[in-house]
Structure 1
Amino acid sequence: MATAHLLFGFLGSGKTTLARELEQRHSAVRFTPDEWMARLFGEDPPAEIFQEKVAATLALLEPVWTRCLFLGVDVVLDYGFWARSERDHARSLAQAHGGRALLYNVECPIDEARRRVATRNREETRSLYIAPETFNLLMCRMEPLQADETFLRIQHKFQ
């Protein structure tokens, strides 16, 4: 049975690094919306259209990753899944397309996450630029995992 690997975690927690590891380990197809958004809409889309572009990107990816599951291919969804409704939706879609969902809680201390995002922002090849004020603003948007959500806890080590 194909697996949808769902990555929950805040900016800079190590989701994309884990996604790349899972992609290799499971011969999976990785979907990292930040990378798609940067290529489609630029590295720093204006705030007033950002949510619209996120929705468009996710709508573009959904039929592709669900088709992969239907064909028996594992997928890695490097989405963040900050809202419970997003996690529930992905789990439901995985099951509806003959797969199963496995949720990973990717954690790291907030100061380390902030440092990683700042470092990533300076790299020549990055996905989306995250301004320090945006980092702070987005922290309040995460809905914690609930007691009824089964997950694997990942405390990733990085250099």
Structure 2
Amino acid sequence: MTFAPATLHLLCGKIASGKSTLAAELSAAPGCVVISEDQWLAALYKEEMQSVADYVRYAAKLRKAMTPHLVALLNAGVSVVLDFP
């Protein structure tokens, strides 16, 4: 079975630099999803994140857990927009 080639868009930048706006524009394409680190961290660790060290620790956990899923999406032909600060 052959799938359409997928694209990984990795957006990194400072706060309020337009990452989320660009992510929304890119994810409007058919077969594309946006993954927002801010949304995932807030949903999973909102109560536990009280410091920059907490953010670093939980962001690392999130990235490790998400990696196999992101690879699977890309291998299935789904383009992914990673909106990470």
State the TM-score, normalizing by the size of structure 2: 0.82
CA distances 1:35-69 after superposition (whole Å, capped 9, x unpaired): 00001111781114221111011112211111111
Pair 1:63-2:68 in alignment: yes
Partner residue in 2 for 1:18: 22
Distance in 2 between the 1:43 and 1:15 partners?
25
Q: Tell me if the contact between 2:48 and 2:54 (Cα under 8 Å) persists in the aligned partners.
A: no
Cα distance in structure 1, aligned partners of 2:67 and 2:35: 10
1:27: how far off?
Answer: 2.9
- Contact conserved, 1:38 with 1:44, CA < 8 A, in 2? no
Secondary structure of the equivalent of 2:15?
coil
In structure 2, the gaps of 5 or more residues are: none
User: Which protein has the larger Cα radius of gyration, Structure 1 or Structure 2?
Assistant: 1
Query: Structure 1: which 5+ runs fail to align?
Result: 81-159
Equivalent pair of 1:31/1:61 in contact (CA under 8 Å): no
What is the RMSD computed on CA atoms of the aligned residues? 1.7
Determine whether 1:28 maps to 2:32: yes
Aligned residue pairs: how many?
80
Partner of 1:37: 41
Q: Distance in 1 between matches of 2:36 and 2:84?
A: 6
- 2-side partners of 1:18 and 1:58: how far apart? 21
Task: Tell me: CA distance 1:14–1:6, structure 2 relative to 1, closer, same or farther (3 Å).
Answer: same
Q: Report the residue type matching 2:46 in the other structure.
A: G
Within the candidate set 77, 87, 93, 2:82 is matched to 77
TM-score (structure 1 length as normaliser): 0.46
* Aligned match for 1:8, one of 12, 32, 48: 12
**CA 21–44 in structure 1, closer or farther in 2 if over 3 Å, else same:** farther
